[in-house]
């Protein structure tokens, strides 16, 4: 659906979109996991805790830090629109596109997040606008489409 038919003005810039649902779930799961591990560790008696070797403790710490790094990557996903470009951060990858490079923004039924169609024929996922956010994602997509359409005047 073209952005012109969706009505409304382009959003004020700079504008940042972040996924709400995945951020809430990610933070909640992380806090619950930390609580479970802490309760589990402190429920062991001193003898049981002393049987853990340095290697075992190191392994648990490594996997805990790996989990936190992966969760941080998910939670930092965003899209930021500026007057001259769109910055897309998916996990630990950051990409910048000038507005003329973006041909269309779409969110097909069943897709997890918005996809950008680029002028060179490539696509780019925008994890900062996730379908699981429902109406919030549709409003963000409409705003993004207005910005993309503004870079491609009809004529």
Helices (H), the chain: 21-43, 46-50, 54-75, 135-151
Q: Where are the domains of the chain?
A: 13-155
Q: Tokens for 132, please give them.
A: 């699981």
Instruction: Please answer whether residues 103 and 118 qualify as being in contact, where contact means their C-beta atoms are separated by less than 8 angstroms.
Output: yes
pLDDT of residue 3: 45
pLDDT of residue 1: 45
* Stated pTM of the model: 0.84
Q: How far is CA 44 from the centre of its chain?
A: 38
Q: Which fold has domain 13-155?
A: PH-domain like (2.30.29)
Q: Tokens for 10, please give them.
A: 């382009």
pLDDT by residue, tens only, the chain of 155 residues:
444 445 678 889 999 999 999 999 999 999 999 999 999 999 999 999 999 999 999 999 999 999 999 999 989 999 999 999 999 999 999 999 999 999 999 999 999 999 999 999 999 999 999 999 999 999 999 999 999 998 777 65
Instruction: Please answer whether residues 95 and 79 qualify as being in contact, where contact means their C-beta atoms are separated by less than 8 angstroms.
Output: no
pLDDT of residue 4: 46
pLDDT of residue 6: 54
117 vs 140: CA distance, rounded Å: 16
Exposure string of 61-99, with b = 16+ CB inside 10 Å and e = fewer, is: eeeeeeeeeeeeeebbbbbbbeeeebbbbbeeeeeebeb
134 vs 107: CA distance, rounded Å: 11
Q: Tokens for 140, please give them.
A: 């963000």
Helix or strand run (H / E) with residue 97: strand 93-98
What is the 8-class DSSP label of residue 81? E
């Amino acid at each position: 659906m073209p952005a012109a038919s969706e009505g409304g003005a382009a959003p004020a810039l700079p504008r940042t979109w972040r996924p709400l649902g995945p951020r809430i779930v990610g933070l909640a799961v992380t806090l619950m996991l930390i609580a479970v591990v802490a309760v589990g560790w402190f429920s062991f008696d001193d003898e049981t805790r002393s049987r853990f070797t340095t290697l075992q403790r190191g392994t648990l710490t490594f996997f805990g830090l790996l989990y936190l790094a992966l969760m941080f990557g998910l939670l930092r996903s965003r899209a930021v629109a500026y007057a001259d470009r769109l910055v897309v951060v998916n996990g630990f990858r950051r990409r910048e596109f000038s507005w003329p490079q973006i041909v269309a923004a779409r969110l097909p039924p069943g897709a997890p997040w918005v996809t950008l169609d680029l002028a060179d024929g490539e696509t780019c996922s925008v994890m900062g606008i996730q379908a699981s956010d429902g109406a919030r994602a549709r409003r963000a997509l409409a705003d993004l489409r207005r910005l993309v359409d503004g870079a491609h005047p009809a004529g």
